[in-house]
Amino acid sequence: MRWLAQKIASRLPTPDFYVDFPLVHAFSQRFFALDPIVQAVRRIAFRALEEDFGHGIVHARKVSLDAGALAIIECRQNGCPLERIRRRLRLAHCAGLLHDVRRKEADHAAAGAEYARGALSRSALFPPSDIEAICGAIRNHEAFRKVLPIQDRKGRLISNCLYDADKFRWGCDNFTDTVWTMVAYLQVPIPDFLERYPAGLAKIAKIKETFRSETGRCYGPRFVDTGLALGRQLYEILERDFRKIVAP
């Protein structure tokens, strides 16, 4: 099913977010690859992330790059100077790298924020206000939870960009990778998986109403709609080809 999902997704159009902002994404990717502070945080994340639950380093990298691109776009819209944009980009990348370091815990956002605060404080890579911006974003990135207030503009920007970039993954990425890794890890029986699938699609649809940045509200629902189209195709195949295999 993972292979089939990836095959279907390869025929879908590239999300408009990447089509409309190619230079922004190129800048985010280059900065992610070359900035020494981002690379130091990447090493921290690499040691802490677990790959068997669908939220490892590949997921963290995608979220980081999109959070960085969102930060650039939002900062430009507010007329920020280049040096401030670069600093916000760095914070968005680092929040993306660390946001799921405690993904298996019940309240993984709060646990991840505490881990990040300790790791970044020991690293001496950032001043306290930047650490708080990163940790506040991690604390607020989980869907359908109360958003804890963030007082300063920098912190709100990083929080919104991280949330939206993470929820972009509720599009095709959810069906090409994440869901299958989680199902395998949790050893969910096929009948149970099929029973829960429609409710899962409904929950994904609700995420469209939650995007927080101006850019995220514009492009996020399009990610989700594409993912839902893929998810519905897969469900039809699952019902047709797998339900009869497991029927009593």
- Give percent above pLDDT 90 in the chain: 92
Q: How far apart are CA 163 and CA 83, in angstroms?
A: 23
Residue by residue, DSSP assigns 198-245 as HHHHHHHHHGGG---SHHHHHHHHHHHHHHHHHHHHHHHHHHHHTHHH
**Whole-prediction pTM:** 0.96
Q: How far apart are CA 227 and CA 205, in angstroms?
A: 9
Q: Domain spanning 2-246: which CATH class is it, in words?
A: mainly alpha
Q: How far apart are CA 58 and CA 123, in angstroms?
A: 23
Q: Give the end-to-end CA distance of the chain in Å, rounded to a whole number.
A: 22
Residue 190: pLDDT band by 50, 70, 90 thresholds?
confident
Average pLDDT value over all residues in the chain? 95
Residue 248 has pLDDT above 60, yes or no: no
pLDDT of residue 246: 56
Give the pLDDT confidence of 71-104 residue by residue, as tens digits. 999 999 999 999 999 999 999 999 999 999 999 9
SS3 of 12, please? coil
Give the pLDDT confidence of 135-162 residue by residue, as tens digits. 999 999 999 999 999 989 999 999 999 9
